[in-house]
Amino acid sequence: MKQENTNVTANVLASLEQLSLKDSKEIFHCPSIEQQAADLGIDTEGLTKNALKKTVRDKLREITREEWKAKKRLKLKAKKKEKLELIQTGLLPPPEKKLLIEQEPSNVKIVLDLGFDSLMSDKEVASMHGQIRRCYSANKICKHPVNLILTSLSGKLQTRFEHITDWKSWKNIQVETQDYLDMYPKEKLVYLTADSPHIIQDLDESKVYLIGGIVDKNRYKYLTYEKAQQQGIQTAQLPIGDFVKLASRKVLAVNHVFEILVEFLECKDWEQAFMKVIPKRKFADQESHPNSILEEDA
């Protein structure tokens, strides 16, 4: 019996060796790249073989991601249902009611300057989108919400923003496609940038603070500082060096800068605001700063 099996295996292997690549692909249901593109509804016209392969790969990745997200949503829903049942049957205590803080709006204006769309990769645009949402959320739950304004929304970020975000239902946010220079007098503007020689001490309600809406892993050095200089706008950096010691450059992600500002409005203490918001990994002495908030790319 064992001998018979060995012979069958040897025969199958011998037959497989005779097959062309095309035959073997058909046998193992591995369609050609053109067939895969057709199945996926991709227009192949004008695409080189390599470009076609990349498009198919990207599309398959996208589908897998969507499937994964759908599965995750279902799992979450089931978990929620299960928890609710446990609460209803008395096996789990009901969740404590969240303490809603009473917000006292401040008149400080913070603009996210989104005029850098073309400088970011798709991944960076997605990260920027996430950072805008974090700013919006931080403003929603802080003690003194500021006037949050998005300017120069355009390109890939605008598409993403309008398709993925339910931003039309967002409150207390102003979304503009126009440039901040068309909206405010220059003398009221202060561009926050880590490269400024000036250090901000307090937040002034008569000013409009600009944050550069870009994720660039610091690829574009002095980008916002030079922009502000060219436009004749005042600049200022956060007083990080006066209060905490960071391991590397003091360039923070947009949402962290925003969160520091709203935190400062509440506690009026820069050190406390930095300790609360800046990710632990950024500190020179990480052990003495047990800060582990969700981190974002800068």
Binding residues vs ligand SAM (CB under 6 A)? 192-194, 211-212, 214, 216, 218, 220, 222-224, 237-238, 240, 250-254, 257, 298
State the Cα–Cα distance between residues 119 and 227, nearest whole angstrom.
14
If the CB atoms of residues 170 and 220 are measured against ligand SAM, the closer one turns out to be: 220
- Least gap, CB of 290 to ligand SAM (angstroms): 22
Q: How many CB atoms lie within 10 A of CB 87?
A: 13
If the CB atoms of residues 173 and 246 are measured against ligand SAM, the closer one turns out to be: 246
If the CB atoms of residues 108 and 214 are measured against ligand SAM, the closer one turns out to be: 214
**Catalytic-labelled residue, pool 39, 182, 202, 216:** 216
Q: How many CB atoms lie within 10 A of CB 295?
A: 13
- Least gap, CB of 156 to ligand SAM (angstroms): 17
Q: Are 228 and 267 in contact (CB under 8 A)?
A: no
State the Cα–Cα distance between residues 205 and 66, nearest whole angstrom.
44
- Least gap, CB of 142 to ligand SAM (angstroms): 18
Which residue, judged by CB position, is nearest to ligand SAM in the bound state?
212
If the CB atoms of residues 201 and 218 are measured against ligand SAM, the closer one turns out to be: 218
If the CB atoms of residues 37 and 190 are measured against ligand SAM, the closer one turns out to be: 190
Nearest to 272 by CA among 239, 247, 230: 239
- Least gap, CB of 119 to ligand SAM (angstroms): 9
- Least gap, CB of 17 to ligand SAM (angstroms): 57
195 has catalytic annotation: no
Catalytic residue annotation: 216
